[in-house]
Chain A
Amino acid sequence: MNVLPAFGEKIKLYWPLTKSMQTGLLLSTGLAGFMTARCPVMHWYAFIGLVISLYLAIAGSTIINMWFDRDIDARMTRTCTRPLASGQIAPNQALRLGLTLSVIGIGLAVVMKPSYGLIVFAGLFFDVVVYTIWLKRRSAWSIVWGGIAGAMPILAGRVLGMGHLDAIGILLALAVVFWIPTHILTFAMRNYQDYQSIGIPSFASVYGFKLTRAIIAFSSLIAAFSIATAGIMIGIQIGFLRVLVVMSTGLLVLTFSSIIHPSDRINFGLFKYASVYMLTAMILLAV
């Protein structure tokens, strides 16, 4: 009789491990990548398979990351209440769950299409092994690998839709690679003290806030240009392209405002706007 409430409690406890907002945003890029292929017939099996495999692989890698970072999470005010850092979930259980979701996700992806599975696996490998385990605690440049990992879902979706790797897929991936610094560096600047206190190198701590803001502006510019170019190459409707241009203008206005009048409010506003921008861009590319 008590099985359902107990299961509900379990889900409630484990759900934060998947970082649902971040996972959802990455999943949306994968869906957009798939839908940009403009298949004449909607393949529902492929679509649902994409959703399940990508979600499991992204959520799995996120859980493994959180398992690995539980020691530093426990030392930061912002993250110390996370289920693993606060000891609500045993590390082994979390690792088992993360590995299980990852294996099922990648396995399903390989069965659907080996090239798609390979890219999903690459995303997980770059995220967990290269970014989190190898570089995150050693170099501020780890963000580049974080960006490459973040670009894999959109590339995977495109490859699944097209059946092969193409220039548009690479351009879309490039857009995400250059969007990631806007997302991560603004966040790292907002939580500068936290990262400093545990000795995680960030661009702001190594190169200073001024250069970090310039890098954010530069990468935003390239990201906006790449998405617009990809949109034109895909052949999105002219009206949607206009909306994309307006949204890109907003992104650039905020990034350059953060250089001219730096403030925490603008910085955090840019962080939030960047997520809205990416989600909107994905919807516009996909429709």
Chain B
Amino acid sequence: MDGYNEVEKLSVFDRILLFLTGFLAAYQIAIGIDHFSKIPIIAYTIGFGILLLAGLLIIILGFEVLDNPIVVIISSAIPLSLSLGLVWEFLIAFRIIYLVFIIVGYLAIMATRILPIKNSLPVIVVAVFHGVAGLIIFILPEVLVFSGQTGPIFSLVGFGGALIGIGGLLLVMLRAGKSLLSRQTIFRILPILLLLMTAFLVLGFSAI
């Protein structure tokens, strides 16, 4: 048991990475999203706010905080909110329908995680809504860059989205007990993953 705790203990390097993640997310909330309209500002505040709190809470509570069932519910809000912001800004015709999709999706994720459901429905619900949101964050910026609507740096948002997808997948598999990587390996790469995804998103959004 001691060895188990030893492996999960945060190193100073992990703490620095997580602090930088929180700092970058706070910077983005404070300064980086002022030029957007109301709904994207709210959406990005939620997305980067969760990244800020994730960094701080992992530093304070350790990696064990990720064992809490509520983590899946809260972390799902990152891709859902960020994708909503992107759709609201760039796919104007789909604004309302996507807003409804996000609300329904988030309620479904919450319900299937809170209710005692034994079958695979909770995983399917996360896969569908998290998956669609993740694909939008990954693909839409690249399409916008290739079509010349935004500067090339905006494609970093897509890379950030891909990392969100990888992080989300690792956490879901970890919780389901079907992880490809060991628990120790996931916790070793998670702080780097969080910092990279935040940095890519912050840099990417600075291009518009």
Contacts and interface: CB of A to CB of B under 8 A. Distances in A.
Q: Do the two chains bind?
A: yes
B180 interface: no
A272 B30 CA distance: 23
Interface in B61-81: 61-62, 64-65, 68, 70
A242 B56 contact: no
Given A242-B45, A265-B64, A250 B30 contact: no
Interface residues of B, number: 20
A197 to B, nearest CB: 28
Interface string B21-32: 000001001110
B53 interface: yes
B60 interface: yes
Contact of B56 (A238, A250, A265): A250
Interface residues of A, number: 21
Interface in A227-251: 237-240, 242-243, 245-247, 249-250
B30 A240 contact: yes
Contacts of B65: 269
B52 interface: yes
Contacts of A269: 57, 60-61, 65
B89 interface: no
A187 interface: no
Given A269-B57, A269-B60, A276-B56, A249 B30 contact: no
B60 A237 contact: no
Given A246-B52, A249-B53, A239 B60 contact: no
A269 B60 CA distance: 6
Interface of A: 237-240, 242-243, 245-247, 249-250, 253-254, 257, 261, 265-266, 269, 272-273, 276
Given A245-B49, A246-B52, 9 more contacts: A240-B30, A242-B45, A246-B45, A246-B49, A246-B53, A247-B52, A261-B68, A265-B62, A273-B57
A253 B57 CA distance: 11
Nearest to B69: A261
Contacts of B57: 250, 254, 269, 273
17 contacts: A239-B29, A239-B33, A243-B30, A246-B45, A249-B49, A250-B57, A254-B57, A257-B70, A265-B61, A266-B61, A269-B57, A269-B61, A272-B60, A273-B56, A273-B57, A276-B56, A276-B60
- Tell me if A's interface is mostly helix, strand, loop or mixed: helix
Given A269-B61, A272-B60, A276-B60, A242 B53 contact: no
B46 to A, nearest CB: 9
A279 to B, nearest CB: 12
A92 B182 CA distance: 58
A113 B31 CA distance: 37
A239 B45 CA distance: 9
B56 A243 contact: no
A283 to B, nearest CB: 10
Contact of B30 (A239, A253, A266, A273): A239
A239 B34 contact: yes
B71 to A, nearest CB: 12
A282 to B, nearest CB: 14
A245 B57 CA distance: 16
B60 A242 contact: no
Contacts of B53: 246-247, 249-250, 253
B61 A239 contact: no
B61 A238 contact: no
Nearest to A284: B30
Nearest to A270: B60
Contacts of A250: 53, 56-57
